[in-house]
Structure 1
Amino acid sequence: MISAPPYLDVSAEAGRDFMMRAITGPVVMLNLLRFRAEADYSATPELAPDAPISGRDAFMRYFEHTLPFLQASGGSVEYLGDGGAWLIGPAGERWDAVMLIRQASVEAFIA
Structure 2
Amino acid sequence: MQTSEPFTVTNAVTLSADQLAAFLGAAEDGPFVMINLLKFRERAVYADGRDPELSGRDAYLRYGMAVQAELARVGAKPGYAGPITGLMIGEVGTLWDMVALAQYPSLAAMREMVMAPSYQAIAVHREAGLLGQLNIKTKGQFA
Q: TM-score range by the shorter chain?
A: 0.7 to 0.9
Amino acid at match of 2:110: F
TM superposition score normalised by structure 2 = 0.62
Identity level (%): 35
Report Cα offsets for 1:17-74 as digits up to 9, x if no partner.
Answer: 3345413110211111111221112x243xx23x611111111111112211111211
TM superposition score normalised by structure 1 = 0.77
Partner of 2:77: 76
Q: Secondary structure at the match of 2:97?
A: strand
Q: Secondary structure at the match of 2:108?
A: helix
User: 1:105 and 1:85, CA in 2 relative to 1: closer, same or farther beyond 3 A?
Assistant: same
Partner of 1:109: 110
Question: Do structure 1's residue 8 and structure 2's residue 13 form an aligned pair?
Answer: yes
* Alpha-carbon distance in 2 for matches of 1:28, 1:88: 22
Q: Secondary structure at the match of 2:33?
A: strand
> How far 1:5 moved relative to its partner?
6.8
* Alpha-carbon distance in 2 for matches of 1:92, 1:6: 12
Contact 1:86 1:93 in 2 (8 A): no
* Alpha-carbon distance in 2 for matches of 1:58, 1:64: 10
User: 1:30 and 1:44, CA in 2 relative to 1: closer, same or farther beyond 3 A?
Assistant: farther
Matches within 5 A, 1:37-56: 37-41=42-46, 43-45=47-49, 48-49=50-51, 52-56=53-57
**Superposed CA RMSD:** 2.2
Q: Which consecutive residues of structure 2, in runs of 5 or more, have no partner in the other structure?
A: 1-8, 113-143
Aligned residues: 104
Q: Which consecutive residues of structure 1, in runs of 5 or more, have no partner in the other structure?
A: none
